[in-house]
Structure 1
């Protein structure tokens, strides 16, 4: 994330801190609950995208799923900014650590050719074929 995004995250954190303080609520549990809420909404959007509920069918679009992913990231970033005095460095350090570990342990998986999968199809833009 760039400096402008972190500035927006910090503004959100301050606003939410003030809100929770006025309500007499502890900040950290509220942040964690928000992440859980957003993950639930992401799950619901994805299930709606693939038509997982036969009674409802396809109820969400790929854009709905993308927006929910962003909401999860924002909620997590606000939580990170709550816990870390330098969330940008903390995130960069962790991304580098996870990428290094994952890439050093990567094992090739077989290509799936069975044609199975969800009703809704991802357009592939979010995959490794992006520059």
Structure 2
């Protein structure tokens, strides 16, 4: 995980709290921002494949690669609204995913 992720997203969350408050509505808006960014990732992929014949190819692979980064940042900012320890809860989730993967890999190799 990037060493700057948590300090920067903490600053973003603090700035949002100062500008917009930290109500339940604001927390919901931060979750919706994750969905918005994920939609932009999907739109970029559609644009790189030319799936929409009316628009044709509108994006590059670099555009597609940029969008998941925005999703990660938005998700990290949103996580601040639901826990006082975002790095710790994400680390716990990552370790749990690694354990499941290791257990699955171990089972499949038997």
Could you tell me which residue of structure 2 aligns to residue 44 of structure 1? 43
Question: Whole-Å Cα distance in 2 between the matches of residues 63 and 50 of structure 1?
Answer: 13
Q: Structure 2-normalised TM-score?
A: 0.84
Residues matched between the structures, number = 107
What is the root-mean-square deviation of aligned Cα atoms in Å? 2.2
Alignment of 1:14 with 2:19, yes or no, is no
**Moved runs in structure 1, 4+ residues, more than 2 A?**
1-5, 102-108
Structure 2: where are the runs of 5+ without partners? none
Structure ranking higher in helix proportion: 2
Structure 1 gap segments, 5+ residues each: 109-131
In the superposition, the TM-score normalised over structure 1's length comes to: 0.72
Where 1:74 maps in the other structure, the secondary structure is helix
Tell me the CA shift for residue 43 of structure 1: 0.7
Alignment partner, residue 69 of structure 2: 70
Task: Using the TM superposition, give the Cα deviation of residue 25 of structure 1 relative to its aligned residue in structure 2, in angstroms.
Answer: 7.5
